[in-house]
A and B are shown apart, each in its own frame.
Chain A
Amino acid sequence: MTRLLLQEVCAGSLKGVNLALAAGEIVGLSGPSGSGKSRLLRAVADLDPHGGEVFLDGQPQDSIPGHIWRQRVMMVPADSQWWFDHVGAHFPDGAGEFVAGALGFSAGVMDWPVSRLSSGERQRLAILRALSRQPRVLLLDEPSANLDDDMTQQLEHWLLEQIRRRELGVIWVAHDHHQLDRVSDRQAFIRGDTLELAHGCD
């Protein structure tokens, strides 16, 4: 089943991007800085005006109100923002159970003040925050940029398990090719103004 389909998407300098993601599939995306990886994710999440069409489970982007589209096609940016005083206020009701025990957090994390979070904690919590809203597609922008090796491995392992179980379609942006080799089913690279797909990994 095709979870997410990009047809001739143009975003920033990128032209004519075609990509199909199956449910539970992870596509790794890499490219030099400034090549437009984040721009592409923003277009898929419909945060920027863009050309081309994007379909979620066969439904075109335009047919769904913007905020509902983004609830289902959720982007997790490289630098997450926290606007309430406490961690818990950023999560939907009843998310405490899901968060407790995940990615090394205890149940008490919901009461932590945001001002005391380290950048690594912010990053892990941002992923938990996104998943607690039950998206169908996850767009991850450098999800382990602020994490040490141990935590990166733990995150990869945990995310893979969640993605398979929830049958999410995932675009995973990273600089680290070894990471993309470990987690992704297929890989795509940005060269110039086109997206090139590498086949044959599976």
Chain B
Amino acid sequence: MAVIDLAWWKLALATLLILALAGISLQARLGITRTLLVATLRTMIQLSLIGLVLEALFASSAFYWVALMATVMLLVAGREVIARQQRRLRGGWAFAIGTGSMFVSSFTVAVLTLTVVIGPEPWYEPRYAIPLLGMMLGNTMTGVALSLDRLTESVWSQRAVIENRLMLGDSWRHALEDIRRHAMRNGMMPSINGMAAAGVVSLPGMMTGQILAGSPPALAVKYQILVMLTITAGTGFGTLMAVSWGSRRLFDERERLRLDRLVQQHSR
């Protein structure tokens, strides 16, 4: 089956749909016209640029270029995690914990999948490594951001309960038990729901893209299963680390609740 090449001007037709939507929302005063157009523009520019980068990367396939690309992706994801938290840890801790947990989980699972499961030659072959890492990072980022946001927000709103439990002699782990559980669940739910609904309610985007681009469905399905499993594992481990490092940082060595280590920021 041949892949139908998509001419650039055909994308312009799809853009017309967005413009129509923008026109209607402007008329209905929904107040999202600007955001919609900016997001559309960003998608087109960012993806075009990444297309060029990937073309160049695939052509050279030198390890250091792949490593550089991976580092940039990680740092951007780390910044995004911070931006999604209403209250975050002061002094670089939010960035360090977010980036650290994403690094350990996404990179470990991605490298493991590349070397043991897929096995391209060399293992860092950018055609496999970069998309896999990108999907891992994107989902782990969501999980880490959701769980850290939930953690800091709940600790803030339930500070009286936590302190009363400390007064009664509970350890910091015990006093934070429920909040940690909820934060974990918050971070993991999107990937668990995604797995449960896959193929029944939704056709996952990666698989759809692969089929559109000409892969046989059976192969696309196998890759999709692999990706969903690795994403869930990566998100789970990342969330686990972020929640445990983050909650440890909210208490000091005397197990006191240290809300002075949180700083509020205005969301975008």
Contacts and interface: CB of A to CB of B under 8 A. Distances in A.
Q: A and B: real partners?
A: yes
Interface of A: 45-49, 65-68, 70-72, 74-77, 79-81, 83, 129-130, 133, 135
Contact of A66 (B160, B161, B168, B254): B254
Query: Which of A46, A66, A76, A77 has the most chain B CB atoms closer than 10 A to its own CB?
Result: A66
Contacts of B178: 83
A135 B166 CA distance: 13
B125 interface: no
Interface stretch (B5-13, B100-108, B169-177, B232-240): B169-177
B256 A67 contact: no
Contacts, number: 60
A60 to B, nearest CB: 12
Contacts of A68: 169
B252 interface: yes
B27 to A, nearest CB: 49
Interface of B: 158, 160-161, 163-172, 174, 178, 252-257
B167 A76 contact: yes
Nearest to B169: A71
Contacts of A135: 169
A45 B165 CA distance: 12
A22 to B, nearest CB: 23
Given A67-B170, A67-B171, 5 more contacts: A45-B167, A47-B163, A66-B172, A67-B255, A81-B165
A70 B164 contact: no
A77 B163 CA distance: 10
A81 B161 contact: yes
Nearest to A129: B168
A72 B165 CA distance: 14
Given A67-B171, A68-B169, A70-B169, A77 B255 contact: no
A66 B165 contact: no
Contacts of A79: 160
